Amino acid sequence: MELIFELSKRGKRGDTLPESGIDIKSVIPVKFLRKESLQFPEVSEPEVARHYTRLSSLNYHIDKGFYPLGSCTMKYNPKINERIASLEGFQEIHPLEPIEMCQGALRIMYELGEYLKEIGGMDAVSLLPSAGAHGEIVSLLMAKKYFEDRGEARGKVLVPDSAHGTNPASSALAGFDVVSVPSNEGGLVSIDVLEKLMSEDVACLMLTCPNTLGLFEKEIEKIERIVHKKGGILYLDGANLNAFLGIARPGDMGFDIVHFNLHKTFSAPHGSGGPGGGGIGVKKFMEPLLPIPRVEKIGDRYLLNEKIDTSIGRIHSFYSNFGIMVKGWVYIRILGDNGLRKVAQNAVLNANYLLSRLKDYYEIPYGEGRCMHEFVISCESLKKYGIRALDVAKRLLDLGFHPPTIYFPLIVKEALMIEPTETESKDTLDRFIDAMIRIRKETEQSPDILHRAPENTPVRRLDEIKAVKELKVNWFSRDRFLNLSERKI
Ligand SMILES: *Cc1c(COP(=O)(O)O)cnc(C)c1O
């Protein structure tokens, strides 16, 4: 498979614009004129169309097949979202348009905020963070300012050892010391340990619920009391909201802040499919700190409030990823509260169906045969056949499935983390189960097949370290691109 730069031939064009008849030098001062050509590839329109269509079919994506990537909630993204988000009035809107001309857009932002408030049981929402991790760091900066404003020195954030890597990373970036909370033998927060670790130096406990093992924190009320008794903030990493959407509300459980992943729970495409949305919901006492601008409604008019002295300030250019907000708004409007509840019920049902059919073939160390919206297999016991989680994942590619998340959460050895989501049919789940059982048999009977996998994909096993160690990101240089093309598809 050639790179677009390799298809390039001097003089080929994809446009048919007439000559302007204007001498550029008479309009633009010479000092501003480009000295060298841009080195863009020169190709015809059909070549462009075919090149990208070919690339899109090489890639694996949710419109192509099952994508049980644990923690990432790769649900099918309804096409109606795209239709509405690409309406001219949304797509062509300019962030510098006068406020009177974008009342419709502001209404969408305001209403989505109201829906998320209701879903989360929170008092105020900001849609500005553009991903879950961004929501985390914005929230932690708010927590930091909150305690600074009160003259309290709290330098620590508690993070369970099953947490997503973004939790400790965001805490450290916001200037906190990260203290890891070990899980108990059941995979949940150990109440005794939490009680010892929680002190008046701790700003916040970042909790994921259900956690990354797919288990609900049954002692959430105790956890809430422990954190609040010492004056700390209770933060919900809401990436797993799909498990209890419309059934329970973080605010009612005592969470002070929650981030929503619009691109996971609320069906905006992600995983190279588009930008994200990581809005946050907060309780009343944190509202003054929310980033600016804030969308407000006075009478039937919407406006943007940029002057809030108590705010942590701006965290994004303009108003963040507006198209993602439209998609989330459409999704919620279409499903309504009953529909959202069914999303969660079916997500949990699908995960438990997979778990119950696979538990005789694979070791599932936590949860005692039950889970919420996802569960984690350990491939540790396959090591005696020379097989690792990575081999199972690669073999799934050959059998037509995107592999589950591997080697996460870190507390499970040789982890395979499976999240089917609610959008998959029983037929699809059965085909996946068949593939997993087949792989389990191959582990003992023909491990070589697993070691060789994948054989049917555009590229074989990639060197996983090289891309990190030899990052090449000079996008505009044709030569650098050609260097990258040593591998042949
Ligand atoms: C995805 C995820 C995050 C980070 O969210 P992004 O939107 O990818 O930045 C944080 N925590 C958990 C549990 C997640 O699954």
Q: What is the pLDDT of residue 306?
A: 95
Centre of ligand 1 to C-alpha 164, Å, is: 7
Could you say which DSSP state residue 240 is in?
G
Q: Which atom of ligand 1 is nearest to the CA of 261?
A: 7
CB-CB contact of 369 with 355 (8 Å): yes
Centre of ligand 1 to C-alpha 393, Å, is: 21
DSSP 3-state percent helix, strand, coil across the chain (nearest 5): 40, 10, 45
What does the buried/exposed string (b/e) look like for 415-437 if buried means 16 or more CB atoms within 10 Å of the residue's CB? Answer: bbbbbbbbbbeeebbebbbebbe
- State whether the beta carbon of 278 lies less than 6 angstroms from ligand 1: yes
The predicted model gives 10-17 an average pLDDT of 88
Residues paired with residue 301 on neighbouring β-strands, in sequence order: 298
CB-CB contact of 391 with 450 (8 Å): yes
- State whether the beta carbon of 270 lies less than 6 angstroms from ligand 1: no
Q: Which amino acid is at 45?
A: E
pLDDT category, 118, cuts 50, 70, 90? very high
Centre of ligand 1 to C-alpha 129, Å, is: 13
Q: Which amino acid is at 20?
A: S
pLDDT category, 487, cuts 50, 70, 90? very low
Is the pTM higher than 0.85? The answer reads yes
- Dist. CA 342–CA 27, nearest whole Å: 61
Q: What is the pLDDT of residue 483?
A: 54
Centre of ligand 1 to C-alpha 253, Å, is: 21
pLDDT (tens digit per residue) in 62-74: 999 999 999 999 9
The predicted model gives 199-223 an average pLDDT of 98
The predicted model gives 296-322 an average pLDDT of 95
pLDDT (tens digit per residue) in 433-444: 999 999 999 999
The predicted model gives 265-292 an average pLDDT of 92
Q: For the chain, give the mean pLDDT.
A: 94
- State whether the beta carbon of 214 lies less than 6 angstroms from ligand 1: no
Q: Which atom of ligand 1 is nearest to the CA of 278?
A: 7
Centre of ligand 1 to C-alpha 15, Å, is: 41
Is 441 buried (19+), middle (13-18) or exposed (0-12) by CB count in 10 A?
A: exposed
Is 360 buried (19+), middle (13-18) or exposed (0-12) by CB count in 10 A?
A: exposed
Q: What is the pLDDT of residue 38?
A: 80
High-pLDDT (> 90) share of the chain, %: 85
Candidate from 302-306, 358-362, 455-459 with smallest mean pLDDT: 455-459
Q: 347 vs 478, which has greater pLDDT?
A: 347
pLDDT at 157 over 50: yes
Q: What is the pLDDT of residue 345?
A: 98
CB-CB contact of 315 with 289 (8 Å): no
pLDDT (tens digit per residue) in 239-268: 999 999 999 999 999 999 999 999 999 999
Residues paired with residue 257 on neighbouring β-strands, in sequence order: 235, 282
The predicted model gives 372-381 an average pLDDT of 98
Which of 164, 207, 272 maximizes ligand 1 atoms within 8 Å of its Cβ, making it the mutation to test the pocket? 164
Q: What is the pLDDT of residue 482?
A: 53
Domains of the chain: 79-335 (3.40.640.10), 343-469 (3.90.1150.10)
